[in-house]
Amino acid sequence: MVKYLVSKSLSLVCVVAASSVASAQNWVMPTPFGDRNQPTQIAYEFAEDVQALTNGEVNILVKSNGHALPHLAIPGAVMTGKVVIGEFLLGLLDKQNSIFQHDMIPFLANNYDDSQLLWQVSKADTQKQLHKLGLHYLYVVPWTPYSAFSTRKIENIDDFSGLSIRAFNQTVTSLIQKLGANPVKVPLKDVTSAFEQGKLDGRFASLSVGEDSQIWTYAPYLNDLRIWIPKEIVVMNKSAFDKLDEKTKAAIEKASLKAERNGWLQTKERVETDLASLKNGGIIYSKPSNKLLRELEAINQRMTQEWIEQDPKQNGDIYRAYREAQRQSKGIK
């Protein structure tokens, strides 16, 4: 009888365990960049936190460096439910709604304080538009500043003329054209070979991506424009998120808050270390001249106005709120 009860109990434990494994959700999370980049490192930490906070009921397998999906394919894959969760540059959605263009308007917010202010005033409307696309917002991680890497030295705006520069969304394409350069679409995984084959002469990239890819080996000149601080965004398929129980939703939201907080703090700390690594690697470094900055500011004004005119209510309200937040942060009445 005892033997029977023990056997029965063991069987019950096995059934419960099997049921628990079967009910666990396992999600592949495609990310576009390599493991040394801060957004990817934050993604790994986020996945660990979700697993711990849900007691293993949600397991996220981060697939970095485009191994699961190419960068440009990730937004659509999450929208359609091909994958439950994914990470990509927020600006890749700029054709879906003009609000997403704010992330890559040159010099609109190119330091971390201003970038956070811009995100604070645009976040609610951004989430609203994400919902319309079937996406549920989880968190963002800013990049180290984007600057201009090229095969020849850039000292003034005329030096951009005729260069073939990588374009990856509508906003960047517009900027490249205004610089008098040629926008060229090249998948992220093919960027290095495109430079080696002479298909590209330049790219706008973060200091971190430049350091990680040893960019000095194919684009040895850096003009440290610090033109944007764009954000990687992590989203879930909204329908999949809505079907989760409240406890699981709360756990994911808690992990998301931590990821975003760490993202802003840790990325800011990497700026000088990434820049030092670039110089140690052999990058030929220069800062933009005042003349070049004035020329780029004129482009900023044009692109900002074009952005506002696309949706005067939504984008105009964001812009005015952003400028007011800047004034308040500096104590200007």
Report helix, strand or coil for 47.
helix
Dihedral sign (CA 94, 99, 101, 104): negative
pLDDT, tens digit only, all 333 positions of the chain: 444 433 444 444 343 333 334 468 999 999 999 999 999 999 999 999 999 999 999 999 999 999 999 999 999 999 999 999 999 999 999 999 999 999 999 999 999 999 999 999 999 999 999 999 999 999 999 999 999 999 999 999 999 999 999 999 999 999 999 999 999 999 999 999 999 999 999 999 999 999 999 999 999 999 999 999 999 999 999 999 999 999 999 999 999 999 999 999 999 999 999 999 999 999 999 999 999 999 999 999 999 999 999 999 999 999 999 999 999 988 775
Burial track 93-102 (b if 16+ CB lie within 10 A, e otherwise): bbeebbbbbb
Q: Which domains does the chain have, with CATH numbers?
A: 2-329 (3.40.190.170)
184/176 Cα distance (integer angstroms) = 9
Q: pLDDT value at position 35?
A: 95
Q: pLDDT value at position 330?
A: 83
243/245 Cα distance (integer angstroms) = 7
Tell me which residue has tokens 């260069």: 163
Q: pLDDT value at position 331?
A: 79
What is the DSSP-derived secondary structure letter of residue 168? -
154/159 Cα distance (integer angstroms) = 5
Q: Are strands 231-237 and 135-142 parallel, antiparallel or unpaired?
A: antiparallel
Q: pLDDT value at position 333?
A: 58
Q: Which two tokens stand for residue 191?
A: 């960027």
What separation in angstroms does the CA of 183 have from each of 84, 133, 161, 216, 234?
Answer: 32, 27, 11, 21, 27
54/248 Cα distance (integer angstroms) = 6
294/288 Cα distance (integer angstroms) = 10
What separation in angstroms does the CA of 93 have from each of 97, 207, 243, 302?
Answer: 7, 23, 25, 21
Q: Which two tokens stand for residue 108?
A: 């609109």
